Amino acid sequence: MISEIQVVEHFKSWAGLNSPDIYVTHEHIKAIQVRENLVFADVEVGYPCLSQTETIRSTIETYLKTLHPSLQVQLNIKIVIVPHKVRHGLKLMPGVKNIIAVASGKGGVGKSTTAVNIALALQREGASVGILDADIYGPSIPTMLRLEGKPSVEEGEKGWWPLTAYGIEAISIGVLIEEDTPMVWRGPMVTSALEQLLRETRWRNLDYLVVDLPPGTGDIQLTLSQKVPLSGAVIVTTPQDIALLDVKKGLKMFEKVNVPILGIIENMSLHTCSQCGHTEAIFGSGGGHHLAEDYNAPFLGQLPLDIKIREHSDSGTPIVISDPLSPITQAYINLARRMSIQLAHTGREFSHKFPQIIMQ
Ligand code: ADP
């Protein structure tokens, strides 16, 4: 007969699953119970991982059987996402555990497309997700997610409810203004409009809110990174050198405001000719990798330059939704999971657990 203590001790020498794609250690195994030769345990994973549950289950089962081959194992794999640290002095937003900024050094690198597909991939992996389109000069998320109508407002209540699309919540400056309103807002006005969007939207208990920042690394982006309680930031780049120079500025900006870089994504890396199938690195290769090494930031991976990504986005059904089994969707899912694993490694935020002390 094997005891619970033996099982707990056995787990302590488990090497765990530790790679950029999957992360589970003995510390995530809770509530161990043993009845005869049956072991029950909860596995609490701190990031969305639905596509990995079978690997987690079979690895743990195989490991426990090294203790005794006749052991039967029943695991309850739970996704438990907690709030992570934000800049000192900022408070978490109600209804949102983690805010992740998606940034780029310049426009046109595919930041919004990546933000949308990553948000949908996080949801597919088991998280509750929202997206905020802060790209105030060119809000493209309403088109990509086919957002229709206005956010709903209840009489006498403050704020508005976000729209929903494909299982995620979404809000964009694009749904709050008329289409023909000229985008003449500048500097502080842009920031205050975005602050209002953030403050007044009533998110419904999100694990992650993905914020699609305006492109560039100017004052607007700096102010937003200082004022929004970000848990981390992801930088999207193309492999061209010029884009990489801009990205360095982005990395520096987040460093300055103490927002952890969860990773760099290289978009439009390889092109496969739809006629002949030949694959070419038309913008050069390896740039994102080198940059990540130089700055000691994680390199989350590459996305191909593929017409299907653009076509599906333009028609309002992003590829993660319209072609769920394609290798490109798999690439987005991997990127999203790697990003959330990086976040799971950063410190936890506990300030929301302390009661407010009111002095009278
Ligand atoms: P940004 O937010 O950086 O300005 P967008 O996400 O709006 O860029 O993308 C710019 C254009 O490039 C869009 O037409 C989009 O559909 C397209 N696009 C983005 N990523 C890819 C990709 N990997 N392959 C093909 N087209 C892409």
Which of 106, 238, 313, 314 to probe ligand 1 with, by most ligand atoms within 8 A of CB?
313
Cβ 345 under 6 angstroms from ligand 1? no
212-247 residue pLDDT tens: 998 888 887 888 888 899 999 999 998 876 677 888
Strand ranges for the chain from DSSP E: 17-18, 23-24, 29-35, 38-45, 72-79, 96-104, 129-133, 163-165, 168-172, 206-212, 232-237, 261-266, 271-272, 279-280, 299-302
Cβ 238 under 6 angstroms from ligand 1? no
Cβ 104 under 6 angstroms from ligand 1? yes
Decide if pLDDT at 145 tops 90: yes
Q: Which two tokens stand for residue 105?
A: 């050094």
Distance from Cα 310 to the centre of ligand 1, integer Å = 6
Atom of ligand 1 nearest to the CA of 107: 4
Q: What is the pLDDT of residue 284?
A: 74
Cβ neighbours around 256 below 10 Å, total: 11
Q: Angle formed by the axes of helices 307-314 and 111-124, to 10°?
A: 80
Distance from Cα 24 to the centre of ligand 1, integer Å = 34
Q: What are phi and psi of 45, to 5 degrees?
A: -100, 135
pLDDT band at 349; cut points 50, 70, 90:
low
Q: Whose CA is nearest to atom 24 of ligand 1?
A: 305
Q: Which two tokens stand for residue 57?
A: 């289950």
Distance from Cα 79 to the centre of ligand 1, integer Å = 31
Return d(Cα 72, Cα 80) in angstroms, integer: 25
Cβ 107 under 6 angstroms from ligand 1? yes
Cβ 103 under 6 angstroms from ligand 1? no
Q: Whose CA is nearest to atom 26 of ligand 1?
A: 310
169-209 residue pLDDT tens: 999 877 666 656 555 654 566 677 777 888 889 999 999 99
Contacts of 327 (CB under 8 A, 6+ apart): none
Return d(Cα 194, Cα 204) in angstroms, integer: 19
Find, among 201, 211, 206, the residue nearest to 232 by Cα: 211
Cβ 44 under 6 angstroms from ligand 1? no
Q: Give yes or no for a contact between 20 and 297, defined as CB atoms under 8 angstroms apart.
A: no
